[in-house]
Amino acid sequence: MKKVEFSPSLMTMDLDKFKEQITFLNNHAGSYHIDIMDGHYVPNITLSPWFISEVRKISNLPMSVHLMVTDPSYWVQQLVDMECEWICMHAEVLDGLAFRLIDQIHDAGLKAGVVLNPETPIETIFPYIESIDKITIMTVDPGFAGQRFIESTLNKIVALRELRAEKEYQYVIEMDGSSNRKSFKKIDAAGPDIYIVGRSGLFGLDDDIAKSWDIMKKDYEEMTGKAIPVN
């Protein structure tokens, strides 16, 4: 059975219980998903490099940063300096920047990811797909939690899996948006490697993070018939 990874979206965590939730998740999650929004690419302004440094104080899990920004080149070196394991940029703003920024990330010994909005075809990233370590498929519009799940986006996950097998590419495939009990079965059928879980799939299930994780685990296993691996 293919092992899947669950990456909690820290934008949706309860910041009043920051240390408690991170301490628990350190022993259960595979990585942390950290959204940085600039208020331009999307209307919201959320987490920052400072937030990453606070998580680093109490966690050794890999950090996967999702840049929802108009100018990724402004942010990449900051994240390189912080040694974020994954730096993921939106394909829609990479025209004229992709090769340089991917090389900048790789030269630092880190991994480069690209993110595709629901409307963006996978062909957009074909010029540099061989260089990418991770492809994130947005199953909702970017920038807000709790949006409607766009089922048609799952076709891109299937296509990327087939392309990876055919071309022997090395990227992992991640999905981002409304990953929860209602969608687990459909997502599992598409077959991503990493599930990003936010408020509807994890943090909003109970006030206690351990109980929330148990509910998420039960939901996933009941809907897919597969067990979440223990880290």
What is the C-alpha separation between 84 and 62, in angstroms, rounded? 7
- Flag whether the pTM goes above 0.75: yes
- 98-135 confidence digits (pLDDT tens): 999 999 999 999 999 999 999 999 999 999 999 999 99
Please give the positions annotated as active site: 35, 176
178 is in an annotated binding site: yes
Over the chain, what is the mean pLDDT?
93
Long-range (24+ apart) CB contacts under 8 A made by 67-74 are 67/36, 68/35, 68/36, 68/37, 68/38, 68/41, 68/42, 68/142, 68/143, 69/36, 69/37, 69/38, 69/40, 69/41, 69/93, 70/38, 70/40, 70/41, 71/38, 72/97, 72/101, 73/97, 73/100, 73/101
Per-domain boundaries in the chain: 5-224
Tell whether the model's pLDDT for residue 7 goes beyond 80: yes
For domain 5-224, give the fold.
Answer: TIM Barrel (3.20.20)
Q: In what order do the strands lie in the sheet with 32-37?
A: 5-8, 194-197, 172-176, 134-138, 111-116, 86-90, 63-68, 32-37
Q: Which two tokens stand for residue 147?
A: 């949006």
135 contacts 116 by C-beta, under 8 angstroms: yes
- 39-93 confidence digits (pLDDT tens): 777 767 777 889 999 999 999 999 999 999 999 999 999 999 999 999 999 999 9
95 is in an annotated binding site: no
What are the C-alpha distances in Å from 61 to residues 97, 126, 193, 205? 29, 30, 17, 23
204 is in an annotated binding site: no
177 is in an annotated binding site: yes
What is the C-alpha separation between 80 and 150, in angstroms, rounded? 32
